[in-house]
Amino acid sequence: MKFTRSNSLKGTVTVPGDKSISHRSIMFGALAEGTTRVTNFLQGADCLSTIDCFRKLGIQIENRSNEILIHGKGLHGLQAPASLLDVGNSGTTTRLISGILAGQQFTSELNGDASIQSRPMKRIMDPLSLMGAKIRSIRDNGCAPLHIQGAPLHGIHYHSKVASAQVKSCILLAGLYADSPTSVTEPYLSRNHSEIMLKHFGASVTSEDTTATILPDPKLTAQEIKVPGDISSAAYFIAAALMVPGSEILIKNVGINPTRDGILRVCQDMGADITILNEDRTSGEPTADLLIRYSELHGTTVEGAVIPTLIDELPVVAALACFARGTTIIKDAQELKVKESNRIDVMVRNLSAMGAKITATDDGMIIEGGYPLCGAVIDSKLDHRIAMTFAITALASDGETEIIGADCVQISYPNFYSDLAALTDTV
Ligand code: S3P
């Protein structure tokens, strides 16, 4: 798919539902008693993988055009799957479902695509094993496919080396099936959607600083969940409007949970004109409309506690930094290497091909901004966030940019290209 420079971005866009929250709505709805109704669910391939897995575990899920109905069977209502659980490209499905499967009275196996088969699962296998789980990597390489034989679980207090909501959520979900409280302490606070939504469903979850604690065996009750728009999807439009002179756009109904809003803070640090309007709250999650006006940016340093709050937006921050005056340093972000692709490697390679002054470091990237970018052939490595990042970078670059594997956006934003086209005025 090919992209060229745009005159400016103008207009209003509503981004699809949040991916993390959509996954959790299916999982927790399945474990609750009664029918959970979810609106603004993200119909992306990753969330459809979660639906597919829970159907195989015996949960009836109706996917209607404007709502999802999950006929939950309670904490102990899942059934042994008749076949392998296919998690597709989804790390969230893999890691969260593993926590649930560890406490069942049956055995299951799960696997996904080539990317999933190379992503680290030891980070969940270690704490689950400490809880008494019988989980193993079938090829003994610390990755999927995974074999999980349900077992009685014990509560633990786990100190995670990584700030990862997938690891934290996996352990908390296993904690639902444990014989005593379970807590997880992480180096920095990661997204807290599991804690918020589990409480909504009736679980006893407490959070203090970077520690979350869950009590076992709650009665979870079906809920109405309205999924806020995904700030990770909004990030592409935010960055595009900040890159292309003359732009002014309004992004409606975006989730601005403080554990996810790092992109707003970092853009503002770089000098971005972002106005937060109509603040509201849906299903325990804060939301707002975002008004973005083109701004002249300067470099910044992105590090430490902010990193988990914008981990999926770091590719777009790297691209944005090319248009900012001075140096931008991204550090403490080694996690980028184990996402859907090695995002340090892929960003440095592709931005360099466009003429950027960018260097990879062990835990991030250093970008010298202010050098004009020129179109190139971009290999997305089938990573949705890479494809979207370069689609918008092309709008502020000379010549033509061709993205290989551009269709991978269906993982998190199936209508991305048409929504982007509706905002752009191509030169
Ligand atoms: C997610 C957590 C993050 C994020 C991913 C979604 C979640 O992963 O990158 O896209 O829904 O919990 P990590 O937990 O590996 O940081």
Over residues 88-146, the pLDDT tens digits come to 999 999 999 999 999 999 999 999 999 999 999 999 999 999 999 999 999 999 999 99
- Same structural domain, 198 and 232: no
Model confidence over 54-102: pLDDT tens digits? 999 999 999 998 999 999 999 999 999 999 999 999 999 999 999 999 9
What mean pLDDT do residues 376-390 have? 98
Q: What percent of the chain has pLDDT over 70?
A: 99
- Same structural domain, 261 and 408: yes
Q: Ligand 1, closest atom to CA 20?
A: 11
Task: Find tokens 């090919």 and name the residue.
Answer: 2
411: Cβ below 6 Å to ligand 1? no
Domain that holds residue 344: 2-16+228-423
What mean pLDDT do residues 294-303 have? 98
Q: Which of 226, 254, 288 is the last residue of a domain?
A: 226
92: Cβ below 6 Å to ligand 1? yes
Tell how far the Cα of 92 is from the centroid of ligand 1, in angstroms.
Answer: 6
Q: Distance of alpha carbon 251 from its chain centroid, rounded?
A: 19
Q: Ligand 1, closest atom to CA 339?
A: 9
Average pLDDT, the chain: 97
List strands edge to edge, sheet with 364-368: 301-302, 327-330, 364-368, 357-361
Confidence at 426, pLDDT banded by 50, 70, 90: low
- In this structure, the chain runs to a length of 427
Q: How many CA atoms lie within 13 A of 111 on its CB side?
A: 11
Q: How many CB atoms lie within 10 A of CB 402?
A: 15
Q: Ligand 1, closest atom to CA 164?
A: 14
Q: Residue 245 sits in a domain of what CATH number?
A: 3.65.10.10
What are the start-end ranges of the E strands in 43-144?
60-63, 68-73, 85-88, 107-112, 134-137
Q: Which of 195, 226, 257 is the last residue of a domain?
A: 226
Q: What percent of the chain has pLDDT over 90?
A: 99
Q: Which helix (H) or strand (E) holds 421?
A: helix 416-423
- Same structural domain, 152 and 199: yes
- Same structural domain, 395 and 363: yes
27: Cβ below 6 Å to ligand 1? no
191: Cβ below 6 Å to ligand 1? yes
- Same structural domain, 122 and 185: yes
21: Cβ below 6 Å to ligand 1? no
List the residue whose alpha carbon is closest to atom 13 of ligand 1: 164
Model confidence over 235-265: pLDDT tens digits? 999 999 999 999 999 999 999 999 999 999 9
What mean pLDDT do residues 172-188 have? 98
Tell how far the Cα of 5 is from the centroid of ligand 1, in angstroms.
Answer: 32
Tell how far the Cα of 112 is from the centroid of ligand 1, in angstroms.
Answer: 16
Tell how far the Cα of 179 is from the centroid of ligand 1, in angstroms.
Answer: 27
192: Cβ below 6 Å to ligand 1? no
Q: Which of 226, 255, 289 is the last residue of a domain?
A: 226
Burial of 66 (0-12, 13-18, 19+ CB in 10 A): exposed
Whether the Cβ atoms of residue 40 and residue 229 lie closer than 8 Å to each other: yes
Angle at 190 between CA 240 and CA 183, to 5 degrees: 165
The count of structural domains within the chain is 2
Higher pLDDT, 65 or 218: 218
Q: Ligand 1, closest atom to CA 232?
A: 10
Tell how far the Cα of 355 is from the centroid of ligand 1, in angstroms.
Answer: 30
Instruction: Look at residue 427 and tell me whether its pLDDT is greater than 70.
Output: no
Instruction: Indicate which residues carry an active-site annotation.
Output: 312
Confidence at 269, pLDDT banded by 50, 70, 90: very high
Q: Ligand 1, closest atom to CA 96?
A: 12
List the residue whose alpha carbon is closest to atom 11 of ligand 1: 20
Whole-angstrom distance, CA of residue 255 vs CA of residue 281: 9
165: Cβ below 6 Å to ligand 1? yes
196: Cβ below 6 Å to ligand 1? no
List the residue whose alpha carbon is closest to atom 10 of ligand 1: 312
Q: Which helix (H) or strand (E) holds 198?
A: helix 193-200
Instruction: Look at residue 338 and tell me whether its pLDDT is greater than 80.
Output: yes
Tell how far the Cα of 308 is from the centroid of ligand 1, in angstroms.
Answer: 9
309: Cβ below 6 Å to ligand 1? no
- Same structural domain, 34 and 9: no
- Residue 365: per-residue pLDDT: 98
- Report strand pairing: 377-379 vs 401-404: parallel
- Same structural domain, 222 and 233: no
49: Cβ below 6 Å to ligand 1? no
- Same structural domain, 99 and 242: no
312: Cβ below 6 Å to ligand 1? yes
Whole-angstrom distance, CA of residue 272 vs CA of residue 241: 10
Residue to probe by mutation, ligand 1, list 197, 311, 385, most atoms within 8 Å of CB: 311
What mean pLDDT do residues 188-195 have? 98
- Same structural domain, 209 and 242: no
Which pair of tokens denotes residue 16?
Answer: 């699809």
Q: Which helix (H) or strand (E) holds 357?
A: strand 357-361
Residue to probe by mutation, ligand 1, list 22, 28, 92, most atoms within 8 Å of CB: 92
Cis (ω within 30 of 0) for the bond into 127?
no
Instruction: Look at residue 201 and tell me whether its pLDDT is greater than 70.
Output: yes
Distances, alpha carbon 407 to alpha carbons 2, 133, 196, 211, 382, in Å: 12, 38, 33, 38, 8
- Same structural domain, 66 and 210: yes
- Same structural domain, 208 and 355: no
Task: Find tokens 């900040």 and name the residue.
Answer: 242
- Same structural domain, 340 and 310: yes
